Amino acid sequence: MLPKKHRLNLKIDRNRVTEKARTVKLPTLTLLIAKQDHSSHLSRFAVITSKKLTSSSVARHRLKRKILQVINQNISALPAGLDVIIIPHKSALTFDYQQLAPIILNGLKKYSLES
Protein backbone atom coordinates (compact mmCIF):
# COMPACT_ATOMS: atom_id res chain seq x y z
CA MET A 1 0.00 0.00 0.00
CA LEU A 2 1.20 3.46 -0.82
CA PRO A 3 1.82 5.96 1.96
CA LYS A 4 -1.14 8.31 2.37
CA LYS A 5 0.83 11.31 1.08
CA HIS A 6 1.28 9.51 -2.27
CA ARG A 7 -2.35 8.44 -2.67
CA LEU A 8 -4.65 10.34 -4.98
CA ASN A 9 -8.14 10.84 -3.55
CA LEU A 10 -10.39 10.01 -6.49
CA LYS A 11 -13.52 11.45 -4.86
CA ILE A 12 -11.91 14.88 -4.77
CA ASP A 13 -9.42 14.93 -7.65
CA ARG A 14 -10.74 12.53 -10.31
CA ASN A 15 -12.59 15.13 -12.41
CA ARG A 16 -9.69 17.58 -12.34
CA VAL A 17 -7.19 14.93 -13.33
CA THR A 18 -9.32 13.50 -16.16
CA GLU A 19 -10.00 16.99 -17.57
CA LYS A 20 -6.39 18.20 -17.46
CA ALA A 21 -4.70 14.86 -18.00
CA ARG A 22 -2.41 13.87 -20.76
CA THR A 23 -3.09 10.26 -21.76
CA VAL A 24 -0.29 7.76 -22.25
CA LYS A 25 -1.66 4.57 -23.80
CA LEU A 26 0.43 1.47 -23.43
CA PRO A 27 -0.38 -2.12 -24.51
CA THR A 28 -1.27 -3.24 -20.98
CA LEU A 29 -2.49 -0.05 -19.30
CA THR A 30 -3.46 3.57 -19.72
CA LEU A 31 -1.92 6.39 -17.70
CA LEU A 32 -3.78 9.65 -17.10
CA ILE A 33 -1.16 12.13 -15.97
CA ALA A 34 -1.82 15.71 -14.86
CA LYS A 35 0.41 18.27 -13.23
CA GLN A 36 -0.74 19.28 -9.77
CA ASP A 37 -2.35 22.70 -9.32
CA HIS A 38 -0.49 23.31 -6.09
CA SER A 39 3.27 23.03 -6.09
CA SER A 40 3.84 19.80 -4.23
CA HIS A 41 7.04 17.85 -4.41
CA LEU A 42 5.15 14.57 -4.14
CA SER A 43 3.43 12.70 -6.93
CA ARG A 44 0.12 11.02 -6.12
CA PHE A 45 -1.20 7.82 -7.67
CA ALA A 46 -4.47 5.92 -7.99
CA VAL A 47 -5.35 2.66 -9.72
CA ILE A 48 -8.82 2.06 -11.15
CA THR A 49 -9.78 -1.57 -11.74
CA SER A 50 -13.34 -1.90 -13.00
CA LYS A 51 -15.55 -4.96 -13.26
CA LYS A 52 -15.02 -4.80 -17.04
CA LEU A 53 -11.50 -6.03 -16.35
CA THR A 54 -12.71 -9.23 -14.69
CA SER A 55 -15.63 -10.11 -12.49
CA SER A 56 -13.29 -11.65 -9.91
CA SER A 57 -12.59 -9.11 -7.20
CA VAL A 58 -9.64 -11.22 -6.06
CA ALA A 59 -7.96 -10.87 -9.47
CA ARG A 60 -8.71 -7.13 -9.65
CA HIS A 61 -7.24 -6.45 -6.22
CA ARG A 62 -4.21 -8.66 -6.89
CA LEU A 63 -3.45 -6.61 -10.01
CA LYS A 64 -3.97 -3.36 -8.10
CA ARG A 65 -1.54 -4.51 -5.39
CA LYS A 66 1.09 -5.42 -8.01
CA ILE A 67 0.82 -2.00 -9.66
CA LEU A 68 0.98 -0.16 -6.34
CA GLN A 69 3.99 -2.27 -5.33
CA VAL A 70 5.82 -1.17 -8.49
CA ILE A 71 5.08 2.47 -7.67
CA ASN A 72 5.95 2.13 -3.99
CA GLN A 73 9.32 0.52 -4.65
CA ASN A 74 10.28 3.07 -7.32
CA ILE A 75 8.72 6.20 -5.82
CA SER A 76 12.04 8.03 -5.46
CA ALA A 77 12.88 7.57 -9.16
CA LEU A 78 9.50 8.85 -10.42
CA PRO A 79 8.89 12.46 -11.50
CA ALA A 80 7.51 14.77 -8.78
CA GLY A 81 4.45 17.02 -8.82
CA LEU A 82 2.17 14.73 -10.83
CA ASP A 83 -1.26 13.22 -10.26
CA VAL A 84 -1.47 9.85 -12.01
CA ILE A 85 -4.44 7.56 -12.57
CA ILE A 86 -3.53 4.08 -13.82
CA ILE A 87 -6.17 2.06 -15.67
CA PRO A 88 -5.01 -1.49 -16.46
CA HIS A 89 -6.26 -3.48 -19.46
CA LYS A 90 -7.26 -7.17 -19.45
CA SER A 91 -3.85 -8.20 -20.75
CA ALA A 92 -2.28 -6.91 -17.51
CA LEU A 93 -4.03 -9.62 -15.48
CA THR A 94 -1.52 -12.24 -16.63
CA PHE A 95 1.55 -10.09 -15.92
CA ASP A 96 3.65 -10.45 -12.80
CA TYR A 97 5.59 -7.76 -10.94
CA GLN A 98 8.75 -8.12 -13.05
CA GLN A 99 6.77 -7.61 -16.26
CA LEU A 100 4.69 -4.68 -14.98
CA ALA A 101 7.56 -2.68 -13.49
CA PRO A 102 9.32 -1.66 -16.73
CA ILE A 103 6.01 -0.92 -18.47
CA ILE A 104 4.81 1.49 -15.77
CA LEU A 105 8.20 3.15 -15.32
CA ASN A 106 8.70 3.60 -19.08
CA GLY A 107 5.21 5.10 -19.41
CA LEU A 108 5.95 7.67 -16.72
CA LYS A 109 9.37 8.45 -18.21
CA LYS A 110 7.76 8.81 -21.64
CA TYR A 111 5.45 11.48 -20.21
CA SER A 112 8.26 13.35 -18.48
CA LEU A 113 10.27 13.42 -21.73
CA GLU A 114 7.29 14.79 -23.72
CA SER A 115 6.58 17.61 -21.26
Q: For residue 70, what is the domain's CATH number?
A: 3.30.230.10
Q: What is the pLDDT of residue 54?
A: 94
Range of the structural domain that residue 18 is part of: 4-114
Walk along the chain (115 residues) in steps of 10 and give the mean pLDDT of each run. Answer: 90 90 93 85 93 95 96 90 94 94 91 69
Q: What is the pTM of this model?
A: 0.91
The whole-angstrom separation of Cα 3 and Cα 31 is 20
Q: What is the pLDDT of residue 109?
A: 86
The whole-angstrom separation of Cα 8 and Cα 47 is 9
Burial class (CB in 10 A: 0-12, 13-18, 19+), 110: middle
Q: How many structural domains comprise the chain?
A: 1
pLDDT over 70 for what percent of the chain? 97
